[in-house]
Amino acid sequence: MNSRRAKTEQAMTRSVPTELATRVNRQVLGHIEALSAHSDVADALTIALKPLGDVQPFCPNPQQYRYVVASTRGVIFALALGMDTTGFRLDERMKTRALASGGAPFPECGNEWVSFTLFRDDWPKIDLEFWARKAYLAARESERS
């Protein structure tokens, strides 16, 4: 029975789309490949992405609460991880503002990444829509590699 369940779980796990398997995304994908995301974090990110245009969300296995990433033009610009973490790929100007606004460097994903901890009762609510939009715009303006 366990081997049947393992095979079913493997069948439900989707591979990273080829358009995301690029040099620009290599570090972030390497960091998150075995990580998960609580549904509350994934939902918060999904809601923040709704007003944006050309966004491709990806989760390798939603039933197993795996990580969630969002991309545009083949560049991953946002992610949801763990119980309370969102991350955004930002240009230098917005990264500086994010760090001054309670974000933390996220070097595991790359130098341009900042993470925010959600659902803290001792900190103002993170404006996910704002940071998602800024990361989306930075990704749209960057060159794919």
96 pLDDT higher than 60: yes
Q: Which CATH fold would you assign to the domain 2-141?
A: Aspartate Aminotransferase, domain 1 (3.90.1150)
For helices 128-141 and 92-100, give the axis angle rounded to 10 degrees: 160
Nearest Cα residue to 126 out of 28, 32, 47, 35: 47
Beta strands in 23-145 (DSSP E): 56-58, 68-72, 75-81, 85-89, 104-105, 113-117
Per-residue pLDDT averaged across 76-100, rounded?
A: 96
Its pTM stands at 0.87
Q: How confident is the model over 9-64, as pLDDT tens digits? A: 444 567 888 888 899 999 999 999 999 999 999 999 999 999 998 999 999 998 88
**Mean pLDDT, the chain, whole residue set:** 89
Tokens of 13: 């796990």
DSSP 8-state assignment for residue 82: B
DSSP letter, residue 124? P
| Phi, psi dihedral angles at 105 (to 5 degrees) | -55, 145
Lowest pLDDT segment from 1-15, 31-45, 66-80, 125-139: 1-15
Angle at 34 between CA 128 and CA 84, to 5 degrees: 30
Q: Are 78 and 87 in contact (CB under 8 A)?
A: yes
Residues in CB range of 34: below 8 A, 6 or more apart: none
Domain boundaries, the chain: 2-141
Token pair recorded at residue 23: 């040099």
Residue 119, pLDDT > 80, answer: yes
* pLDDT value, residue 12: 53
Amino acid identity at 54: D
What pLDDT was estimated at residue 38? 94
Mean pLDDT over residues 98-102, rounded?
95
